[in-house]
Amino acid sequence: MEYGLPLIGDKFPRLEVVTTRGTKVLPDEFKGKWFILFSHPADFTPVCTTEFYAFQKRYPEFRKLNTELIGLSVDQVFSHIKWSEWIKEKLGVEIEFPIIADTGRVSEILGLIHPGKGTNTVRAVFFVDTTGYIRSILYYPQELGRNFDELLRMIRGFQLSDSQQVAIPANWPDNELVGDRVIVPPAQDMDSAAKRLKDYECYDWWFCHKPAISDKK
C-alpha cells in the first residue's frame, strides 16, 4: 500500500507501533485526547537529551490540557529504555511518556527522514486532535532544538480556537496589537461587516478582536 505524506487536516494514519510502554495503535490509543508525536534523530545525543528533559518537565502541563506525548526515533526499544534510565540516573527525571522504536516504516509513512539532512529522523512534531485529525506539522533540522513553551502555547491556542470559534494572533497571549485578546472570524456579508464594528473593538471591519472567554472557575 502506498501512502502520501500526511498533511494538515488529514486523518492521522492508523499505525501499530512498538514503544517503551508496550505495543500501541495510533491514533486509537489516544482517542478523546490530543496527542503530540515528536521524532528525534537518535538516543544518547546531547540536543535530543535536552529535548526529552524539557518535554518531561512540561508533561504535567500537557496532561492538564488533555494532551499526551509520544516520542520516536529509528532506534531499538532497548536503546530507548537504556537512554531513559540514563536520563533518570544522571538528570533526575523519569521519562513517563512512551517512545516508539521505529524500524523505518513509521518514519517513511510520516515523512520523518529528509535525505538532505542525513539518514536520521528530523525533529518533526505532529499535533493530533481528539478526533484523530492532524492540526499542525512542524519540522526542525537536527542541529536546532525545539522551543517547548511554544508547543504548549500551540495546544492552548488550538483548544481556545476550537472552543470559541476564534483565530489566535501572532505571539498570543502577548500580541503587540491586541495583547491576550483573540481575533473574530471574518464577516460573510455586508450586513455582518457593518454590525461587527458595533459589537467588537476593530481596526476595521475585517480586523476585529475580543477578550478570550476564560474557562477557569
Task: State the Cα–Cα distance between residues 106 and 165, nearest whole angstrom.
Answer: 33
- Torsion, Cα 73 110 165 179, to 10 degrees, reads 50
pLDDT at 217: 38
30-40 pLDDT, tens digit per residue, is 999 999 999 99
Domain-embedded: residue 57 = yes
Q: Is residue 208 among the annotated active site residues?
A: no
39-64 pLDDT, tens digit per residue, is 999 999 999 999 999 999 999 999 99
Q: What is the pTM of this model?
A: 0.93
- What is the count of structural domains for the chain? 2
Domain-embedded: residue 159 = no
Query: Is the domain of 66 the same as that of 32?
Result: yes
- Mean pLDDT, rounded, for 116-122: 88
Query: Is the domain of 66 the same as that of 140?
Result: yes
Task: State the Cα–Cα distance between residues 69 and 46, nearest whole angstrom.
Answer: 20
**What's the CATH code of the domain at 187?**
3.30.1020.10
163-192 pLDDT, tens digit per residue, is 999 999 999 999 999 999 999 998 889 998
pLDDT at 215: 53
Query: Is the domain of 201 the same as that of 125?
Result: no
Checking if the pLDDT of 10 tops 60, the result is: yes
Query: Is the domain of 142 the same as that of 170?
Result: no
Query: Is the domain of 39 the same as that of 76?
Result: yes
Domain-embedded: residue 186 = yes
Catalytic residue among 48, 74, 95, 160, which?
48
200-212 pLDDT, tens digit per residue, is 999 999 999 999 9
Question: What's the chain's average pLDDT?
Answer: 94
- Final residue belonging to a domain, choices 120, 147, 174: 147
Domain with 118, as residue range(s), is 15-147
Query: Is the domain of 55 the same as that of 121?
Result: yes
- Final residue belonging to a domain, choices 99, 115, 147: 147
Largest CA distance in the chain: 64
pLDDT at 214: 66
**What's the CATH code of the domain at 137?**
3.40.30.10
Number of C-alpha atoms within 13 angstroms, CB side, residue 31?
A: 5
Query: Is the domain of 89 the same as that of 131?
Result: yes
Query: In the chain, where do the E strands start and end?
Result: 15-19, 22-26, 34-39, 67-73, 99-101, 123-128, 134-140, 182-183, 201-204, 207-210
Query: Is the domain of 37 the same as that of 137?
Result: yes
Domain-embedded: residue 9 = no
Domain-embedded: residue 38 = yes
